Amino acid sequence: MRVMISCGEPSGDLYAGALAAELHARVPSIEIVGLGGPRLQAAGATLSGHFTGLTVTGLTEVVAVLPRSWRMYRRLVRDARSRRPDVFVAIDFSGFNFRLMAALRRLGIPGARKCGRGDRTASRR
């Protein structure tokens, strides 16, 4: 089984790392890839990219990181196309992850998202 996880900030990395660790405990052969930070990586995921420098607030900061965000988005879509994950899990980082989830849905990859406290919504295939 293959899972792609995307989180773009330290709080999301906390959830992503816990999820990856639990998935590995239940399914030792699972392959987890995606965008994350040190906790996701420590839990056994292969990072396609690290979120450092992607998380910003304010209009001028957002404009400054757009090229890097766009490159990361394209890299994750390319990885999903080649690795064909069974499911995509988006954690927080909604502006980026909602677009990524839509692109992966067009590839036939189902997804689920976790945004904020307790909000978990599955997307349809």
Give the pLDDT score at 117.
Answer: 54
Q: What DSSP assignment string belongs to 9-26?
A: SHHHHHHHHHHHHHHHHH
pLDDT mean by block of 10 residues, the chain; 125 residues: 96 96 98 97 96 77 86 97 97 92 97 68 47
From the options 3.40.50.1860, 3.40.50.2000, 3.40.980.10, 3.40.50.720, give the CATH code of 2-122: 3.40.50.2000
Give the pLDDT score at 124.
Answer: 46
Alpha-helical regions (H) of 46-120:
59-83, 94-106
